[in-house]
Structure 1
Amino acid sequence: MKSILPICSRSWLVAALALSLVACSTTKVQPTKGGGRYYRNDGPPKGITQAQIDAVKEPVPRTERFVSGTLKPYVAMGNSYRPMNKLVPYHARGVASWYGTRYQGLPTSSGELYDTMKLTAAHPILPIPSYVRVTNVENGKTIVVRVNDRGPFLSDRIIDLSYVAAAKLGYAAKGSALVEIDVILP
């Protein structure tokens, strides 16, 4: 039985990574009340209040061991990605989107379970885990999030944020926003 466990563990990790890649790559979308769009069968948590969103505290950046399986080159939606294997200064500007309840409780690329109410993000190449400061260029709001997943894989997006992160940045109803991201070096 012991010889089977490592194979099962590896299979679970491969399945979790594949599920995460598919989750961040689907293109079926539906409109939101704010005119934006989100993935079909997704959306914000039901009954969430602004007070609950405001109560979510930013993660405190700290040095963490990288998840080794997330550092290997991979292909998603026909594009090749080579994840960073160390923290270095990194700045990017582009479109951020968000993912919500469709993925609630499912494994992220890190193996952690996705939680719409945590300040987390998916990025195609940043080390997992790492921390970034995200600034909504349109309104100047800034937050810190912990990168624990891979994605997005659509060419016009640079980062996918959890629902609560998008709400704190003021673009959840819109669906996406122009942002700047900067790696935080602890």
Structure 2
Amino acid sequence: MSLIVSLMLFFNGMKSVEALPSLIQKGKASFYSKKFNGRKTAYGERVDAETLAGAHRSFPKNTLVEVTNLDNQRSVIVRINDRGPFAKGRVIDLTHAAARALGMISSGVANVSLRVVGKGNAVALAPIANTFDAPVDYQPMLQPVL
């Protein structure tokens, strides 16, 4: 009986993992396959490949995390909106937009560091704008070479 009471007191005193500002974690990152686009996350949101979001095993929902690709030093801030990754050795799963920003699309997996930068909702939701997608828009700026 005392064992059960001890276990109850132990688990009752445990809090969910709090994201500490500046917490740094290193490991491997991967990204969601496009087939997951539109499916629900563990929190009930829909996966959107064009948002900057990710899945982490212990960070609470809406934690903002700076993810840095250690191979090319590119960084992006993502919002945690899912649980995972469930592949062995991975610390974070990213959306396609976040993986593209980190330059890891071709490799599929990258060595990354994670740094908690805060808690929020709208900061990481803006899609990445590639200014060179529409070169016609920049034609008036070009001067002819004579």
Judged with a 3 Å threshold, the aligned counterparts in structure 2 of structure 1 residues 108 and 93 are, in CA distance, closer, same or farther, namely same
Read off the aligned partner of 2:19 and give its amino acid letter: L
Residues in 2 aligned to 1:114 and 1:178: alpha-carbon distance in whole angstroms: 23
- Aligned residue runs from structure 1 range 30-179, under 5 A: 83-84=16-17, 86-89=18-21, 90-179=23-112
Q: Partner residue of 1:32?
A: none
Q: CA offsets, 1:12-63, max 9 Å, x none?
A: xxxxxxxxxxxxxxxxxxxxxxxxxxxxxxxxxxxxxxxxxxxxxxxxxxxx
- Separation in structure 2 between the aligned mates of residue 175 and residue 167 of structure 1, nearest angstrom: 10
Offset at 1:152?
0.5
| 8 Å CA contact retained: 1:110, 1:129 | no
TM-score of the pair, normalised by structure 2: 0.67
Q: Please tell me whether the aligned partners of residues 83 and 124 of structure 1 are also in contact (alpha carbons under 8 angstroms).
A: no
Q: Which SS does the other structure have where 1:185 is aligned?
A: strand
Q: TM-score, normalised by structure 1?
A: 0.53
Counting aligned pairs with the same residue, the percent is 37
Q: Secondary structure at the match of 2:97?
A: helix
State the AA in 2 paired with 1:87: A
Q: Which runs of 5+ in 1 are unaligned?
A: 1-72, 74-81
Write out per-residue CA displacement over residues 74-114 of structure 1, whole angstroms, 9 at most, x where no aligned residue. xxxxxxxx951x33132100100000321111111121100
2:16 and 2:35 map into 1 onto residues whose CA distance is 26
Q: Distance in 2 between matches of 1:136 and 1:151?
A: 19
Question: After superposition, what is the alpha-carbon deviation per residue over 1:143-170, rounded to whole angstroms, capped at 9, x for unaligned?
Answer: 1000000001222110000011001100
Partners of 1:144 and 1:91 lie apart in 2 by 14
Question: Where in structure 2 are there 5+ consecutive unaligned residues?
Answer: 1-10, 120-146
Runs of 4+ aligned residues of structure 1 deviating over 3 Å after TM superposition are none
Measure, in 2, the Cα distance between the counterparts of 1:83 and 1:136.
28
**Structure having the higher Rg:** 2
Q: How many residues align?
A: 105
